[in-house]
Amino acid sequence: MNIIVPHQIRKKELGGEVAVEVRKLFAKLKEKPELAAGISAPGLPSRTTLHKVYATTESGARRLLFFCRRPMPVPASGGVPQTPAATTDRWVLLFYRDKSDSVGKNMSPKNADFTRQLAKNLSLAIQDIANSTADNPRYDLF
Amino acid sequence: MKTLEDPSTKDVVAIKRTISKTLRSRLRERGVTVASIARDTGTSRTAIRRVLDEDNTSITLHTMVRTAFSLGYRVRLVLEPSIEKIERVAPPVEVEPLMRELGESLDRLPMRR
């Protein structure tokens, strides 16, 4: 699993840098990918899920939201070789919120604030991912 | 009710096991008795035996730290972040085109070394 933090999300959600507390959480997530196993996503674009993570840190309860993209299946008859990138799940951080924050307390379509900010953060993530190059990545990788 | 399968109970058992084993081993190395530790710490032998019993998790932090101290250890607790659960979130219909676009951008993104 790769965890991707687009630079604009880093600025907006994490105050500009990925703190030790956040890095520790990412490490925990990577240790236990089975936590997310079996989460299905009917109605979503293929190979795509949104995962909400309930976490507790020294600073309090946090709610994270990740956009998760699974790799393309390997074609049975060979086909175009996959890049190394395509062989692992990619989790893009979209929210890192306090449990009591207006978004953190209710990450569902019923929450208008969540919907509005999700659209904004998806747009920021798209800008950074789409404009990244090998020489100039606009994201942090964990 | 907390069961052995509960992650926090597993942590408690693992922590107590490690501490008890370490302290028992130090006790043997130094050739000191439970009675002398009890005297040093101003507590009962029963309380010290509970600290040294790796299956007994019903001890006070105070007794544990004082026992460790009398055997030359300091106890430090480190709180690590934990992940309680992960669940799927249904996306609002309005953001589905953006999700599709982000997915496609990710598919095109080469992996960094």
Strand partners, A123: none
Closest CA to B57 of B91, B8, B103, B98: B8
More confident residue, A38 or B52: B52
- Give the pLDDT mean for B76-105: 90
Is residue A69 classed as helix, strand or coil in its secondary structure? Answer: strand
Higher pLDDT, residue B109 or B4: B109
- Indicate the pLDDT class of residue B68, thresholds 50, 70 and 90: very high
CA distance, residue B108 to nearest chain A CA (Å)? 8
pTM score, whole prediction: 0.74
Residues 57-116 of A with CB under 8 A from B: 57-58, 65, 67, 69, 72, 83-86, 88, 90, 92, 107-109, 114-115
Let me know if A28 is exposed, middle or buried by CB neighbors in 10 A (0-12, 13-18, 19+).
Answer: middle
Report pLDDT for B1: 54
pLDDT at A46: 73
CB–CB of A29/A1 below 8 Å?
Answer: yes
Q: Which long-range contacts (CB under 8 A, 24 or more apart) does A23-27 make?
A: A23/A142, A24/A57, A24/B80, A24/B81, A25/A53, A25/A55, A25/A57, A25/A62, A25/A64, A25/B81, A25/B83, A26/A142, A27/A142
With a cut of 70, list the residues of chain A below it in pLDDT: 33-45, 74-86
Pairing assessment for the beta strands A60-69 and A48-57 based on DSSP bridges: antiparallel
Chain B residues in contact with chain A using a Cβ-Cβ cutoff of 8 Å: 79-96, 98-103, 105-112
Residue B24: the pLDDT is: 95
Instruction: Indicate the pairing of strand A60-69 with strand A90-98.
Output: antiparallel
pLDDT on residue A83: 53
Instruction: Work out whether strand A90-98 and strand A2-6 pair parallel, antiparallel, or are unpaired.
Output: parallel
Question: Residues B93-100: what's their mean pLDDT?
Answer: 92
pLDDT at A75: 64
CA–CA dist A112, B19 (Å, integer): 50
Q: What pLDDT was estimated at residue B3?
A: 62
ipTM of the complex: 0.84
Contact B109 A28 (CB under 8 A): no
d(CA B47, CA B50): 5
Query: What local confidence, expressed as pLDDT, does residue B110 receive?
Result: 78
Per-residue pLDDT at B59: 92
Position B109 confidence tier, pLDDT thresholds 50, 70, 90: confident
Q: Which of A59, A74, A122, A128 is the best residue to mutate to test the B interface, defined by the most B CB atoms within 10 Å of its own CB? A: A122
A29 and chain B: CB distance < 8 Å anywhere?
yes
CB contacts of A56 in chain B (<8 Å) are 81-82, 84
pLDDT over threshold 70, residue B18: yes
Average pLDDT over residues B36-52: 95
Bridge partners, residue A51, by sequence: A66, B88
At residue A71, the pLDDT reads 83
Other beta carbons within 10 Å of B113: 6
